Amino acid sequence: MNGTVNYLNCQQPHVCLYRDDVEIVLTKSKLSQITLNRITHGYGYDGYFTGTNIKFLFEEFVAAGAKIVKPLEVTDYKNQEFVIEDIDGRWIAVGAKQKIVADE
């Protein structure tokens, strides 16, 4: 597979990415320049994906030489997450919800 798959015979330029049982469909923008969310809004990621056992995915990104913006850690909103930067400067976060234990 070369990384692109026709999706429902759609005419819009796109690419479908597959990993295990996850499918991500990315479409091409008509804009000449993409503005990053952290620049437009002063905060935020350009994509956020959730899953389980993300430690293995984090280690795979590190081993592949991905640019790690934030290492794997538990956030103040109780998600275990890490953030990478893609080749266009977008920040992509991957998180896993943590079990919250009520205070006694």
Whether 25 is in a domain gets the answer no
Whether 2 is in a domain gets the answer no
Average pLDDT of the residues in 72-80: 93
| Total count of domains within the chain | 1
Whether 85 is in a domain gets the answer yes
Whether 82 is in a domain gets the answer yes
Residue type, 25: V
pTM: 0.75
How far, in Å, are 49, 60, 72, 92 from residue 55 at the CA level? Answer: 14, 9, 7, 15
* β pairing state of 14-19 and 22-27: antiparallel
Q: Tokens 């953030």 belong to which residue?
A: 83
The pLDDT tens digits of the residues spanning 38-64 come to: 999 999 999 999 988 899 999 999 999
Whether 80 is in a domain gets the answer yes
Q: In what order do the strands lie in the sheet with 79-85?
A: 47-50, 91-97, 79-85, 67-74
Greatest alpha-carbon pair distance for the chain in Å reads: 56
CATH code of residue 60? 3.10.180.10
Whether 68 is in a domain gets the answer yes
The larger pLDDT score, comparing residue 77 to residue 63, is at 63
Whether 11 is in a domain gets the answer no
**Per-residue pLDDT band at 2 (split at 50, 70, 90):** very low
**Per-residue pLDDT band at 6 (split at 50, 70, 90):** low
- Alpha-carbon distance of 104 to 102, in angstroms, equals 6
Range of the domain at 59: 36-97
Whether 21 is in a domain gets the answer no
At 26 the pLDDT is: 79
DSSP string for 10-52: --S-EEEEEETTEEEEEE--SSSSPPPHHHHTSS--SEEEE-S
pLDDT of residue 4 exceeding 60, the answer is no
Task: Please provide the average confidence, as pLDDT, over all residues in the chain.
Answer: 84
**Per-residue pLDDT band at 85 (split at 50, 70, 90):** very high
